């Protein structure tokens, strides 16, 4: 299972700039949760220190955002200037990216429905209006693929 | 085709396009697009592993209709198998679907990336969220070879492995990338989809010569080539499929074409969101340039 743990740690690093920083500061503590052999631990410390890891973290976030901007573009625009804290909260609640665009967009909409307080500052509109528009937008964009 | 041929029996396809509905007007231009490269994962909705296999993969009708209208030879280029994952076994329903799709569209070969997109969470497989590089180690090579054999056995089609771009490197790989790719081809009896833009990304980000990389590869294993454009991402050159290929990618193609005796196809990859910037003319220009280079070195596919 060691290679599996190594790959899980590598994926977690790509998904979490916070974990990258933690490995840079205190690698033993940050990697303690993973069942790694010595070479794998050394490799993860090495790659966490590379500037390419920062690019990888950026790519992860871009990729995750892409599924939402593809199917909910107007909703995402309307969430400014609170988009970043909303997306951060969503990613904290749903740490694993569902790479299926439709599933990820539906899950994000469900998250907004469960957390309407996050929408209060976003658009100057009522959370129910934002949600109603988001539901229509997602339905229309999914229908357009048919 | 001389010597060992990893795509035995497949015809020479020529110049192609990684296709999406937005590109359909280009398919009406005679002599521009010889074949379609299709990422099937974009043409179906995967309803997830919890759904019964027969109902799991559902066509996206508007996308599939494009293939029905297009009437071009096809090759399939998957993104969901996760060749290098240390999960206990590849998704069997996905492998079956690869075969069903290849049969349905008579795909001449099947390709996948040298990367892992699935991780073992302890509770089963989960998406890693993006394609990640794995060390060039014996353990990883064994995984990739096993999966290539599994796909070939399940689908009856030639299999090509695509080299990936990466942002991080491991300083103690058990072999270097060309050796890994050569060994893969030998042990799996498979071929290479050589993505020249991925190679270019790595040369820019890690400072080596793409031409020397080609010197180390067994180029008779190369069946298909990808060319693409990229973009800067946090100080790294990324394989963003953004616009037209940069000049060094054309230089690599010019170097490769006379040296890859089993090459069947050159495919241009561009994300359709770039069409407003390139216009259809920009895509057509890229395809025409690839054709001109092919004809200069190899002749035969015209016009």
**pLDDT one-digit tens code per residue, B206-233:** 999 999 999 999 999 999 999 999 999 9
What does the pLDDT read at residue B18? 97
Residues of B in contact with A96 (CB under 8 A): 121, 126-127, 129
Strand duo B236-238 + B110-113: pairing:
unpaired
Please check whether residue B128 touches A, CB under 8 A: yes
Residues of B in contact with A55 (CB under 8 A): 167, 233-236, 238
- Minimum Cα–Cα distance from A35: chain B residue: B122
Closest Cβ–Cβ partner in A15, A42, A51 for B129: A15
B3: confidence class by pLDDT, cuts 50, 70, 90:
low
Task: Verify whether the Cβ–Cβ distance B120 to A64 is below 8 Å.
Answer: no
Min Cα–Cα distance to chain B from A88, Å: 15
Closest Cβ–Cβ partner in B63, B121, B168 for A47: B168
Task: Verify whether the Cβ–Cβ distance A4 to B48 is below 8 Å.
Answer: no
Min Cα–Cα distance to chain A from B4, Å: 33
Min Cα–Cα distance to chain A from B51, Å: 13
Task: Verify whether the Cβ–Cβ distance A52 to B167 is below 8 Å.
Answer: yes
pLDDT one-digit tens code per residue, A26-53: 999 999 999 999 999 999 999 999 999 9
Please check the confidence at residue B153 and state whether its pLDDT lies above 50: yes
pLDDT one-digit tens code per residue, A83-128: 989 998 998 898 777 777 888 899 999 999 999 988 887 767 788 9
pLDDT one-digit tens code per residue, B120-133: 887 778 888 889 99
Residues of A in contact with B117 (CB under 8 A): 99
Closest Cβ–Cβ partner in A39, A56, A99 for B127: A99
A32-41, A106-115, B83-92, B251-260: segment of lowest average pLDDT: B83-92
Task: Verify whether the Cβ–Cβ distance A4 to B87 is below 8 Å.
Answer: yes
Residues of A in contact with B127 (CB under 8 A): 96-99
Task: Verify whether the Cβ–Cβ distance A8 to B119 is below 8 Å.
Answer: yes
What does the pLDDT read at residue B1? 47
Within 8 A by CB and 6+ apart from A91, the residues are A15, A64
Please check whether residue B87 touches A, CB under 8 A: yes
Closest Cβ–Cβ partner in B129, B139, B234 for A11: B129
**Mean pLDDT, rounded, of chain B:** 94
Mutate to test the interface with A, among B45, B164, B167 (most CBs of A within 10 A): B167
String of DSSP letters for chain B: --S--TTTTPPP-EEEEE--GGGHHHHTSTTT--EEEE-GGGTEEE--TTS-HHHHEEE-HHHHHHHHHH---EEEE-SSS-TT--SSS--HHHHHHHHHHHHHHT-S-EEEESSEEEEE-SSSEEEEEEEE-----HHHHHHHHHHHHHHHHHH-S-EEEEP---S---TT-SS-HHHHHHHHHHHHT-EEEEEHHHHHHHHHHHT--HHHHHHHS-GGGEEEEEEE--EEETTEEE----SSPPHHHHHHHHHHGGG-TT--EEEEE--GGGHHHHHHHHHHHHHHHHHHHHHHHT--S--
Closest Cβ–Cβ partner in B134, B172, B233 for A59: B233
As for the ipTM of the complex, it is 0.92
Task: Verify whether the Cβ–Cβ distance B130 to A60 is below 8 Å.
Answer: yes
């Amino acid at each position: 299972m060691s290679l599996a743990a190594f790959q899980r740690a590598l994926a977690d690093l790509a998904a979490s700039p916070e974990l990258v920083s933690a490995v840079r500061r205190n690698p033993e503590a940050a990697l303690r949760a993973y069942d790694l052999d010595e070479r794998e631990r050394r490799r993860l410390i090495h790659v966490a220190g590379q500037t390419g890891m920062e690019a990888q973290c950026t790519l992860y976030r871009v990729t995750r955002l892409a599924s939402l901007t593809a199917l909910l573009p107007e909703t995402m625009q309307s969430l400014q200037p609170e988009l970043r804290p909303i997306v951060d909260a969503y990613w904290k609640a749903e740490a694993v990216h569902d790479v299926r665009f439709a599933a990820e967009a539906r899950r994000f909409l469900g998250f907004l429905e469960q957390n309407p307080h996050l929408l209060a500052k976003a658009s100057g509109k009522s959370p129910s209006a934002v949600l109603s528009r988001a539901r229509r937008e997602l339905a229309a964009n999914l229908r357009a693929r048919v | 085709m001389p010597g060992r041929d990893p795509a035995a029996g497949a015809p020479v396809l020529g110049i192609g396009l990684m296709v999406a509905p937005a590109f359909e007007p280009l398919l009406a231009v005679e002599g521009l697009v010889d074949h379609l490269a299709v990422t099937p994962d974009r043409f179906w909705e995967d309803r997830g592993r919890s759904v019964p296999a027969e109902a799991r993969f559902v066509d996206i009708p508007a996308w599939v209709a494009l293939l029905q209208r297009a009437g071009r030879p096809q090759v399939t280029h998957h993104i969901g198998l996760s060749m290098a994952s240390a999960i206990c076994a590849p998704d069997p329903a996905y492998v079956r679907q690869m075969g069903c799709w290849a049969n349905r569209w008579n795909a001449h070969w099947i390709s996948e990336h040298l990367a892992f997109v699935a991780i073992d969470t302890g509770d089963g497989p989960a998406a890693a969220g993006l394609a990640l590089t794995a060390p060039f180690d014996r353990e990883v090579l064994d995984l990739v070879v096993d999966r290539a054999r599994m796909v070939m056995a399940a689908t009856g089609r030639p299999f090509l492995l695509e080299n990936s771009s990466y942002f991080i490197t491991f300083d103690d790989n058990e072999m270097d990338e060309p050796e890994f790719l050569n060994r893969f081809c030998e042990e799996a009896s498979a071929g290479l989809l050589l993505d020249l833009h991925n190679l270019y990304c790595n040369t820019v980000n890690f400072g080596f010569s793409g031409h020397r990389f080609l010197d180390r590869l067994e180029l008779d294993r190369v069946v298909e080539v990808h060319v693409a454009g990229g973009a800067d991402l946090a100080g790294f050159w990324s394989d963003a499929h953004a616009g037209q290929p940069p000049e060094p990618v054309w230089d690599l193609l010019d170097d490769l074409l006379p040296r890859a005796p089993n090459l069947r196809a050159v495919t241009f990859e561009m994300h359709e969101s770039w069409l407003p910037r390139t216009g259809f003319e920009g895509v057509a220009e890229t395809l025409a340039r690839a054709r001109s280079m092919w004809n200069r070195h190899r002749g035969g596919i015209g016009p």
